Amino acid sequence: MKEKVYFPSHQQLRFSRRLHKMVRRLVPDCDVRFLQSQCGSGKGAAMVTAVAYRLAAQHAERQRVLDTLRLSREKLLEVKKRMSEEMVRGLSKQTHEQASVKMLPTFVRDTPDGTEHGNFLALDLGGSSFRVLLVQVKSGKRHNVDMHHKIYTIPQETMQGTGEELFNHIVYCIGDFLEYMGMGGASLPLGFTFSFPCHQSKLDQGILLKWTKGFKASDCEGQDVITLLKDAVRRTQKFDLNFVAVVNDTVGTMMTCSYEDPKCEVGLIVGTGTNACYMEEMQNIELVEGDDGRMCVNMEWGAFGDNGELDDFCTEFDHIVDNCSNNPGKQRYEKMISGMYLGEVVRNVLIDFTTKGLLFRGKLSEQLKTRCIFETKFLSQIESDRLAMRQVRSILQHLGLTSSTCDDSVLVKEVCSVVARRAAQLCGAGLAAVVDKIRENRNLNQLSITVGVDGTLYKTHPHFSSIMQETLQDLAPQCQVTFHKSEDGSGKGAALITAVACRMKSE
């Protein structure tokens, strides 16, 4: 713009001098300077327009990125369809080897009938901690269960050290628990909740197929975990254990819930990892002899997508999270859903926004570069409806993201919400495939069924469960599904399975 030279008149100069003097007198502590606008409001309007353009372009870019994380109903129906196909492939002898969803037989055929009783030990390994439990199952009309437990942490270096170190540590914890409970020499029947994919050919054997969720202890894959435990017990020469069952956490959860609600025939975990199990018809489980009745199948659905089934729905952020993980190319569905990975998806979106200058004033902090800084609990907290933006900001500050503005907080919350919504919808789509398969297996027009659920993400996130249920209802309208939150975790389930096995042995 060409500017005209402007000379203030004598009168104007006098006016401005007086104005300055008066202002100085009225607010002596403030240093107020007056800058004369040269060409008035025209330039201002142009600048407002330019800013508006920039903001609109930034908004469009943010929405473009977030849209890649949004799934339409058609896409969710496609996820459900592909999950159904993979389930059939996993069950069939011919295609089992290549199938991504392994549909592992568990040799759990019965739910408790209330006549079980006795004391049982249970171990629970699979998340961030290890639990040892003493479970007292009482029979009779008011059948119930008493539990005592102790939680032990598994140091990262033990998770990723040698198998011998890991199992020695587990046995050390068991010894500590027995001593703590004052039951040193007791050899109680024991159920082991081992929340990793295992090939089972009987209840008390589980060959670890592969580690998931950050575990990496050497020399365990391809081994029977009960043998590894027995060897470790033998090494200590301190006590003896009577192993009865190896149980996946999904199966333990289903059992715990079915103890109270016999309609519970599905188990679901949405925690550090995600997985589901359900009661399948024996005639469909081609890997196990016999056609009568049903058996619980551990789907290991976290591996869905490992053959490319989710490639159409993955974003650049999912690829980064996968590439930087312990097990690239594996557990692709789990990496889009569970607590161990959602924070990482969010962090990578935030990095993208920051480098494009759309967030945190374009300043990429060391904290944002730190892996796993966004734990599940932060995702759940940030999305809590009761939280004012000021509190979101204080969570960000707690995470070291100190230079955030109010707009930044709004955007971070939106990213968390889009990522969690996608996770809940994907989970709902998978579950829709499961309940519809059960309905079709039984030739029913309508199915009424209960799903037992456990896992911190499911339990603590303010919207996960409702979005998942909404999706499920939409994609499997012929199924009426009730959700039963498991309060006592999967350890109790392992004890109940052990109790059922002991009852059947004695019958």
Per CB under 6 A, residues contacting ligand GLC are 126, 195-197, 212-213, 248-250, 269, 271, 273-275, 300, 302, 334
Q: How far is the CB of 302 from ligand GLC (least distance, A)?
A: 3
Structure tokens at 2: 């060409």
**Helices 389-398 & 406-441 angle (0-180, nearest 10):** 90
Alpha-helical segments (H) within 285-405? 316-323, 332-337, 339-355, 376-382, 389-398
- The CB-of-324 to ligand GLC minimum distance in angstroms stands at 18
Q: What letter would DSSP give residue 155?
A: -
CA–CA distance, 16 with 35 (Å, rounded to integer): 11
Q: How far is the CB of 287 from ligand GLC (least distance, A)?
A: 17
Query: Quick one: angle between helices 406-441 and 40-67, nearest 10?
Result: 30
Question: Secondary structure of 39-60 in the HEC alphabet?
Answer: CHHHHHHHHHHHHHHHHHHHHH
330 or 413: CB nearest ligand GLC: 330
Catalytic residue among 62, 82, 89, 131: 131
Active site residue 62: no
Number of Cβ atoms within 10 Å of the Cβ of 180: 12
CA distance 463 to 335: 19
Measured from the CB atom, the residue of 248 and 409 that comes closer to ligand GLC is: 248
Query: What's the sign of the alpha-carbon dihedral 235, 238, 242, 244?
Result: negative
Name the closest residue to ligand GLC (Cβ): 273
The answer to whether 131 is a known catalytic residue is yes
Name the residue nearer to ligand GLC (CB basis): 175 or 214: 214
Our CB check for ligand GLC shows the closer of 212 and 404 to be 212
Give the nearest distance from C-beta 273 to ligand GLC in angstroms. 2
Q: How far is the CB of 453 from ligand GLC (least distance, A)?
A: 11
Which member of 100, 195, 325, 338 is catalytic? 195
Tally Cβ neighbours within 10 Å of residue 487. 11
**Residue with smaller CB distance to ligand GLC, 339 or 428:** 339
Active site residues: 131, 195, 249
